[in-house]
Amino acid sequence: MAYIRIESDHDWARGRVSSLPANWAGELLQQWGGKYHPMHPYRANAELREITDMLGHVHIRLDASDSEIVQKASDMAEHCLGLGSVFHSAQDLRRAMERACEAMGIEPPDRIKTTTEGAIGRMTDPLWWRRKLRVQHGRAVEKAAIRLGKVNKTRQLYVSDQTVRRRQQQNLRNAATLESTTATNENGEEFTMAELAAKGQANKAIRRAELMTRISGFEFIANKLGHAGMFMTITCPSRFHKWRTVNGWKVVENPRFDTTTDPREAAKYLGKVWSRIRAALARRGIKLYGFRVAEPQQDGTPHWHMLVFHAQQHGETIRDVVRTQALKESPNEPGAHLHRCDFKTMDTARGTAAGYIAKYIAKNIDGYGVEKDLHGHDTITSSQRVEAWASTWGIRQFQQVGGAPVGPWRELRRVAAVPNGAPDHLATAHRSVNKANQLEGRENQSVSWGHYTEAQGGVFIGRDYRVRIAMQERPDMKNKYGEPAAPVPVGVETWGIEKYRPSWVATNVGASFERAVHWFVESVRHTWTIARQWVKQTRPWEGSMGSALEEGLGLVSITVREGVANGLQYIEDAAGSCAKGLGFSPGLLQSDGQELHRPYFGLA
């Protein structure tokens, strides 16, 4: 008699994890064994099947380093280039490349929004593949790590150790690239790209200082207007949390956890809650301004801290609206009314607004001035884990609420001087963003977000702010994917009202007229020559199909007019060694009774 061997659950489980790295296979089998019961195997088996199916869509080893992801990206770009020797029409080539993307679990470029040339250019670009693979691999690994229970304050805080190591490798590679790349401007000044990056938002100290300056500016305005400050926290429902804390320290698994969710979904949930809060407040005529900080809880689930200012009489209404919207989902689950949202009225006798939020800013950037986080970890290490968490899940950590945008503020720092006769709001905004030397009989002018916001029209100006970034179209230029180049900033622009006397009015008559004047002030930008090693890629259908990849050796020079090359922005201080900007007075541009238009400047 022939016997048929029936596979045991243990054999089945080992088979499900056989293709995974040893550490992942061991973790999965250990978790499965802890939940498996011979009489009731379904729950443990179903969970193991879900996790292994999810990991099966990742076509790079789960324990791959960032270097391996970079190499895989280069291989896929070269593979797509090689398809040009098989498919000789652009449409057929695009479809073949799209199949290669889908086989790797990567979404191809959008067919409606992206031209054929642009799509092919992206799918043959190692950097495009690198970004896509990093996102796919990082999120899949993190989601599996959360499911396995690796991410909590007793094991691996905020994110898995593997993700932190991979992010550190990426940062080290970026730093080495910046150090080995030099930039020379038209004045003969030479810097490494690392030196230029240190002058802008890539420098964590500068980023933190700017955020604190903006918060202090809002507080200055609130004090001036007699507004109150409120510090509030909004968290996600229980279904987003893999773990819960008991008695303030013990971590236990949350039975309400929804395995289909992840930190990115939780961030979207918080965004929707906030949009409902804003809409409800707007219907009541209530406006807020301030900042919000998104940071992870121990299991990687985001929550929001917000410091907002408002009219004194609106405090209780704001609390009611926020509480109503925050508790709209699962209002009766245990602890919802206690933990879902929290409010503290700012007491100026106990400290400033900057003091209330400073520790949240610091521990989410560089840990400056904070020794330990809430879980007792060193904040330098903690901030590195937070940075890896935000990068992996694509979560924006800091967001301004209300007020004028920060873009013109940064562009004004590139403006050396505004011309005589400029509108008062333009001159005030420029003075507010640049420190001035102390003059006889005057106090030193310091940077002031409050004065800048007032010059823009106030904290409730919305989209009608006065000073804007002037953008220049580049119709004759294309980006590296062969598509029309995006407009670039060239300075600031605004409108002012001036009085004038037309030529046909007699000089002895006191009559005068008003007209709108368009002001444009060019910002300071250098022409940089970038020297580094590079790899040149030709289009598969250009030249010989057999030589789709051409390697360039040695150093080359690239002229960059706007201070941007290969996706890296080089930010300088306008008060430093930059040359003087150009200012235009109305007399140079206006014609009687006509609106003024800024001139078109061609790129050098």
Residues marked active site are found at 356, 360
371: enclosing H helix or E strand: none
| Residue with tokens 């008695």, as numbered in its chain | 247
Q: Residue 566: exposed, middle, or buried by beta-carbon count in 10 A (0-12, 13-18, 19+)? A: middle
> What whole-number distance in Å separates Cα of residue 307 and Cα of residue 342?
12
Kindly list the strands in the beta sheet with 190-192, ordered across the sheet, starting from the edge strand earlier in the chain.
190-192, 182-184, 528-532, 556-560
Tokens (6 digits) for 408: 């013109």
- Coil, strand or helix: which one is 378? strand
> What whole-number distance in Å separates Cα of residue 486 and Cα of residue 254?
48
Name 473's Cβ contacts closer than 8 Å, sequence gap at least 6.
Answer: 487
Tell me which amino acid residue 247 is: N
Q: CB 128: neighbour CB atoms within 10 A?
A: 19
Give me the numbers of helices (H) and strands (E) for the chain, helices first please. Answer: 19, 18
> What whole-number distance in Å separates Cα of residue 427 and Cα of residue 496?
12
| Alpha-carbon distance values, 376 to 245, 274, 298, 372 (Å) | 15, 30, 12, 5
Asked whether the beta carbons of 242 and 257 are under 8 A apart, the reply is: yes
Tokens (6 digits) for 419: 């011309």
| Alpha-carbon distance values, 553 to 532, 533, 535, 556, 572 (Å) | 10, 7, 8, 9, 30
| Residue with tokens 């409902």, as numbered in its chain | 276
190: enclosing H helix or E strand: strand 190-192
- Coil, strand or helix: which one is 401? strand
Helix 379-393 / helix 126-147 crossing angle, nearest 10 deg: 110
| Residue with tokens 């990426």, as numbered in its chain | 170
> What whole-number distance in Å separates Cα of residue 533 and Cα of residue 181?
8
| Alpha-carbon distance values, 552 to 134, 180, 372, 533, 538 (Å) | 26, 17, 49, 8, 11
Tokens (6 digits) for 155: 């094991």
DSSP 509: S
> What whole-number distance in Å separates Cα of residue 477 and Cα of residue 603?
10
> What whole-number distance in Å separates Cα of residue 80 and Cα of residue 132?
15
> What whole-number distance in Å separates Cα of residue 427 and Cα of residue 433?
10
